Chains A and B, each alone.
Chain A
Amino acid sequence: MPQDNAKPLIPASKEGATVLLPGEKFFVRRVPLDPAGDAATQIGLALEGLSPFPAGQLYHGFRTDSGRTSALVFAAYRRNFTPEENTAWSHADAVLPEFAVWLGAGSIPAAGLRVREHAGRVEVVAWDGRGELPAAIVVRPAAEADREAMVAEAVRKAGLPAGVPVKVFQSAVETIRVKRELVVRLAAGGTEARFDAIALGQADVRDKVLLADRRRTLRRDTLLWRGFAATLGGLAACVLLEAGLLATHGWLRLQQRVIDAQKPAVEKIELAQNLAKRLEQFSAQRLLPFEMLALLQEKRPKSIDYLRVSTNGLWRMDIEAQTNNAADLRDFESGVRGLTGIEHVEVRDPRTREGLTSFVLEVTFKPGALRPGGGA
């Protein structure tokens, strides 16, 4: 939202607003920078040489040019501002001097002067045609201002020849947020300065330690909010999931009723299928346990006694037996294996105790190998 400046100073009315301070409270210098070094450190050192006050008693900020070869430093004595003003800044997004509107620093303007008169204040800004940043800025309250004298002062400070062009503006300064940049511009248009997060941090005149604290607090608040928002998002997803589950359960119950209604008919078909299969089986083949025993009897050594025989399906017989001659087990197995009509023979669980060897012989006959009333 655009914010107009006025006289006297307007404190930050709400969180996130930008405070523009009257320019006459600042002294301004353009200082050369080593692009390879840290700008803030160089500015701090320069400020100690420039200012009649210790750095701790100053509010200061700066703006570098795009090549970081020079910076415009602006500083104000802290006692120029009341405690109420300081308090008002604490929630502000940024605190800049009003003349920040001239600190566009994107291209080198031609040598000349800009004069802005508004709300009882006269602002004279001079460019020397060699740098992106102004070479001099002179601000006075209108009551004390003599425009011609101010222009002459600015010309002298900037080292300009007499007769350089002068443009006069009568416009307020407003600020607006465009994406992540703060734009400070003349309300009437014609010039603007853009500050990204880094440039804004440099230009903000508040106490640098407090600013660092504030940035930390902002980061913490942002993290807390993001965590809370993400958790709320997760809870919202749970609500959606529950709603989906409820709807799907409802649909499933309806479908299950259909399945349950069909179940008796399906069971009837299944039974018919099983019985038909069994009937076909009974007609074609039948279990012949005595014929199985008769066939195996041919190979049974006399020492082997059957304890139990049982059928397992139509073609398998399991024989639990014992012998007092362990060697006969092997003869029996190989003899059975050699019979016609035997598909598979396996000796299971052989064990010997007190001279008796017990075992289970699993014999699988070939389907159709047995004839009723006889062997294979």
Chain B
Amino acid sequence: MKKFFQHRSLRERLLLLTFALIAFGWWAPVALGRLFTLRRDLKDFLVERETQQLWLAHRSEIQARATAAARTLEPARTLDASQAFAELNRMAAGLSADLGGQRTEKAEQFAVHNIQVSIRRADLKGLYGFYEQLSARAPYLGIEQCSISADRANPGLVNAVFRIYSIEALRPEK
């Protein structure tokens, strides 16, 4: 290679050097960029793998915890999504209420259903009545989040939004 290079004219050598420098100047940053991306991907992968291994290593412990939690439930008092919906409708009778936004999360032994209840222009007494009925079904029905605001158009009346959960005991699948 040295012989080939040294036997070229000065102009050819300068051109060769220039082309080589351009190629290197273009390629090196691109390759380094790819290296840094790979390094980041590798790091993300290692973190994800470690997290997965951690979860998998605690699988039996978590299952045992879930089973123990499920054992505390009285299956007869738990409510599936439809029952919860019906029960909340009953409790909100007489109030201007909208029920919706249902969401369910399931483990092997139980499920947690979420329903959003929006009550508009209710007096505090009516709202408290709803709350008392709800409290009577605890812990199978309960409030996860609550927001109450004064109705600007009707002083003395309030609007309320509750995110309510219901717990359902599931029969193990055979």
Contacts and interface: CB of A to CB of B under 8 A. Distances in A.
B150 A242 contact: no
A53 interface: no
Contact of A286 (B51, B56, B139): B139
Contacts of B122: none
B110 A372 contact: no
A16 to B, nearest CB: 10
12 contacts: A221-B13, A227-B17, A231-B17, A241-B31, A259-B45, A262-B56, A266-B52, A273-B66, A275-B66, A275-B107, A287-B145, A309-B149
Contact of B45 (A227, A255, A289): A255
Contacts, number: 156
Given A286-B138, A373-B135, A279 B58 contact: no
B24 A282 contact: no
A242 B144 CA distance: 53
A289 B6 contact: no
Interface residues of A, number: 50
Interface string B1-33: 110011000000110110011011001100110
A252 interface: yes
Interface of B: 1-2, 5-6, 13-14, 16-17, 20-21, 23-24, 27-28, 31-32, 34-35, 38, 41-42, 45, 48-49, 51-52, 55-56, 58-59, 62-63, 65-66, 68-70, 72-73, 105-108, 110, 112, 128, 131, 135, 138-139, 142-150, 165, 167
Contacts of A276: 62, 65-66, 68-69, 107
Interface in A250-282: 252, 255-256, 259, 262-263, 265-266, 269-276, 278-280, 282
Interface of A: 221, 224-225, 227-229, 231-232, 234-235, 238, 241-242, 245, 248-249, 252, 255-256, 259, 262-263, 265-266, 269-276, 278-280, 282-283, 286-287, 289-290, 305-311, 372-373
Contact of B38 (A249, A255, A256, A272): A249
Contacts of B149: 307-309
Contacts of B131: 289-290
The 9 closest A-B pairs by CB, nearest first: A308-B149, A310-B147, A231-B20, A276-B66, A279-B69, A272-B107, A275-B107, A282-B139, A289-B146
